[in-house]
Structure 1
Amino acid sequence: MAYTKLAHWHKDVEDTGFKAFNTIANTITLNYRSILNYFINRSTNASAESFNAKIKAFRAQFRGVKNVEFFLYRLTTIFA
């Protein structure tokens, strides 16, 4: 059912002729399996995105990384 609704949405977007929607429509076309997977399994990548945000904030706090080994060590001791 979700696949059918997504296909109808995509057709409606194409029919409007708005070029501004082409980018998002192409992105959805390329990733439709991952998008529809949410409706099948109710699974998201929210935890991975949250962890990525924590790493970026940690890196920004120290204004970059000079010693990669030490940075990875600190990440594992703090977030593992």
Structure 2
Amino acid sequence: KQAYSLTHSLRMIYNKNSIKAGARLSLAKWYNRVAESEFKSFNTIAATVYEHHEEILNFFINRSTNASAESFNAKIKAFRASLRGVVDIKFFLFRLTNIYA
């Protein structure tokens, strides 16, 4: 129950806050809840979030992510895997631009 509560409260930071300053305050409160919790495995998660908190908080500037870039990278990896080795780099780039451009 406590793990769900911590997870849900982290998720709600994204849903409730619309500005970076509010999200920063909510995130600080979440860190405190993690520190006070008996669930020590969340310390790793909190440390990772803390390490990247500025990049994470940048989401609240215009509420955008790099999901489209990650999706495109996954498509390129799948395309590359289907070729089973590329000999001609120029031809690979040509096919890549024809398919995804």
Q: TM-score, normalised by structure 1?
A: 0.80
Identical residues among aligned pairs (%): 59
Q: Does residue 40 of structure 1 match 2:61?
A: yes
Matched, 1:24 2:45: yes
Q: Secondary structure at the match of 1:19?
A: coil
Structure 2 unmatched ranges of 5 or more: 1-21
* Structure-2-length-normalised TM-score: 0.66
Give the deviation of 1:34 after TM superposition: 1.6
Alignment of 1:61-76 (within 5 A): 61-63=82-84, 65-67=85-87, 69=89, 70-76=91-97
Structure 2: distance between partners of 1:19 and 1:26: 11
Q: How many residues align?
A: 79
Structure 1 residue 68, shift from structure 2 partner: 6.2
Q: CA RMSD in A?
A: 1.8
Determine which structure has greater relative contact order: mean sequence separation of CA pairs < 8 Å that are 6+ residues apart, divided by chain length.
2
Task: In structure 1, list runs of 5 or more residues that go unmatched.
Answer: none
Is 1:49 the equivalent of 2:49?
A: no
